[in-house]
Structure 1
């Protein structure tokens, strides 16, 4: 049974300290063996090719990370087309850290681009891959596979047999803590078509897996599936409301040049975060960042999502600041 941390339950204290996830009990021994604290900078769903100020949002993230000095950076997909026009943004990210990693999103191959181009232009080792940082194994998955038996249209959202076999092999061989990253969620709302299958593989290794991290949903949410946290990192840029709710948040000339912005509710400033694993405290801390709506909010437009949310406050221009030492105040949502 999956569960979700309710922002409503913790709102009074949420703006004072970072959100600390208790490391799953089964994985605690592996974490305690680590010799050092590890931090990674995270940014999701920049959508450089939709937003007129995507570059400025990325530079805000990179400037912050330069001061914080995390051990690595990960962008979680829907970043920037692997095109010449985006060369400046792509190189700025690559040059910002000696360990700047990519996850491929569903929109990164829009406009005729390919996964192979993303791998080459971004400088990825493969579309899915493993890296080790300070004794922690990071497994990056590609949720854009075709071939789902339950595919119902739209962008593919699936992890195929090639990848599930690789994931199983990696987890079988791992003798250290593991964090799994993907663009599409492996748990919670909008999860990949074969989420239950992938969760089953992950659940076999509870003594190793600390959490799973994704972008894609543009939500501020954390789900528990069989006691493993699935963290949805909010977009750097906006919440998508679609063509039925078109409106102008910026000057008309901006909307003429970037027409897709009209189908979004932009965030006034960029959202991103730093995730830190504290072996001594048995915690994973996610730093928060708060923005404001640029123009009307989804609620002001009368927007309601097509999927079920425990609380509408998951749709907000924020990556929550909360401080928890125990898993409490948890509400149920549907599995997967």
Structure 2
């Protein structure tokens, strides 16, 4: 029987995906018999924008039924918390015994509230911690008001109350941690106090496996102060705005769903499976590819004010990523 060679294993991964690193101290927190943890992730479905959101969600749920993750999570901008969307929300919640939610900025559009999100989605709180198979997932609410540098638009901030709670969680938890927030904590469109949050997380980098977010509808990863920050792409589209307004579907679709004209939709639903394998010392993010429907941002000559680029971060896919223990 061939013996396991970790160096050969990692060399093989280099040929098949993007390899990132985490400190060995994090994996050392797992016990000797720790199980793998598998999470099914979907973000930015935008049921109230895209015309086929329910079909996209069904593809995700069907895939997860086959892959049998330990839990599923939607990472914000999911579906307005109301009776119109109750069937879709219930379908998500009933698809797995552990179905987690993150509040996005658009989930409280059209007069909806965070309290409705908690009630319709069956969330324990707007920010909370959930332990699964020895890993603590800290879910944040990046929609706080009160930022001293707010310049208009949606609030994007972690306020003092939540920040103190986060620091307490990082001090108290003696298990590997994954940070989850709808808004990025690093990179394009990061929360207003991103630098402060990065300092807080960096000080606990010996406990943190990675931080993940939605919101940006891009495929991107950054490494800051010992933490891997990964942007998970939208299930549905990239928003290009009024300047690049165009039709990607037949006229009747756009007439019934006018906001789609401000987007470049993905042909297929994008989502991923995050697997944490303590025995191998790796984290794996499953890749998922699609194509643009109609004109791509590149063909529209789209220019983004945040510095992200069409064809680089703005793409119709989620990259396959491998995060390995730094030896």
Structure 1 residues 301-312: aligned runs within 5 Å: 301-309=300-308, 312=311
| 1:90-111 deviations in Å (ceiling 9; x for gaps) | 0110000000000000000001
Equivalent in the alignment of 2:44: 45
Report the alpha carbon displacement of residue 21 of structure 1 after superposing the two structures with TM: 3.6
Compared CA separation, residues 229 and 173, structure 1 to 2 (3 A): same
The answer to which of 301-310 and 67-76 deviates more is 301-310
Does the 8 Å CA contact 2:42/2:234 hold for their aligned counterparts?
Answer: yes
Does the 8 Å CA contact 1:15/1:321 hold for their aligned counterparts?
Answer: no
Equivalent in the alignment of 1:4: none
Aligned length: 315
The answer to which of 217-226 and 29-38 deviates more is 29-38
| 1:195-224 deviations in Å (ceiling 9; x for gaps) | 111111111111111111100000101111
| 1:289-313 deviations in Å (ceiling 9; x for gaps) | 0000000000101111111237841
Does the 8 Å CA contact 1:255/1:262 hold for their aligned counterparts?
Answer: yes
Does the 8 Å CA contact 1:236/1:272 hold for their aligned counterparts?
Answer: yes
Does the 8 Å CA contact 1:31/1:282 hold for their aligned counterparts?
Answer: no
Compared CA separation, residues 194 and 120, structure 1 to 2 (3 A): same
Q: Does 1:103 align with 2:63?
A: no
Q: Does 1:185 align with 2:184?
A: yes
Compared CA separation, residues 282 and 214, structure 1 to 2 (3 A): same
Equivalent in the alignment of 1:131: 130
Q: Does 1:76 align with 2:109?
A: no
| 1:23-66 deviations in Å (ceiling 9; x for gaps) | 33342311465611111000010000000000000000000000
Equivalent in the alignment of 1:262: 261
Does the 8 Å CA contact 1:61/1:272 hold for their aligned counterparts?
Answer: yes
Q: Does 1:247 align with 2:246?
A: yes
Does the 8 Å CA contact 1:44/1:76 hold for their aligned counterparts?
Answer: yes
Equivalent in the alignment of 1:215: 214
The answer to which of 21-30 and 78-87 deviates more is 21-30
Compared CA separation, residues 326 and 172, structure 1 to 2 (3 A): closer
Equivalent in the alignment of 2:293: 294
Does the 8 Å CA contact 1:20/1:285 hold for their aligned counterparts?
Answer: no
Does the 8 Å CA contact 2:34/2:279 hold for their aligned counterparts?
Answer: no
Equivalent in the alignment of 1:144: 143
Compared CA separation, residues 14 and 294, structure 1 to 2 (3 A): farther
Equivalent in the alignment of 1:119: 118
The answer to which of 66-75 and 308-317 deviates more is 308-317
Q: Does 1:66 align with 2:65?
A: yes
Equivalent in the alignment of 2:8: none
Superposition CA RMSD, Å:
1.9
Partner SS, residue 298 of structure 2: helix
Equivalent in the alignment of 1:274: 273
Alpha-carbon separation, structure 1, partners of 2:303 and 2:44: 21
Alpha-carbon separation, structure 2, partners of 1:85 and 1:120: 14
Alpha-carbon separation, structure 2, partners of 1:200 and 1:226: 8
Structure 1 residues without counterparts, runs of 5 or longer: 1-12, 328-336
Alpha-carbon separation, structure 2, partners of 1:98 and 1:265: 34
Partner SS, residue 248 of structure 1: coil
Equivalent in the alignment of 2:56: 57
Bigger relative contact order (CA 8 A; separation at least 6): 1
| 1:139-188 deviations in Å (ceiling 9; x for gaps) | 00000000000000000000001100100111100010000100000111
Does the 8 Å CA contact 2:264/2:294 hold for their aligned counterparts?
Answer: yes
The answer to which of 137-146 and 19-28 deviates more is 19-28
Compared CA separation, residues 311 and 283, structure 1 to 2 (3 A): farther
Length-normalised TM-score, structure 1 = 0.90
Report the alpha carbon displacement of residue 18 of structure 1 after superposing the two structures with TM: 5.5
Does the 8 Å CA contact 1:19/1:287 hold for their aligned counterparts?
Answer: no
Report the alpha carbon displacement of residue 323 of structure 1 after superposing the two structures with TM: 5.0
Partner SS, residue 125 of structure 1: coil
Report the alpha carbon displacement of residue 321 of structure 1 after superposing the two structures with TM: 2.4
Partner SS, residue 79 of structure 2: coil
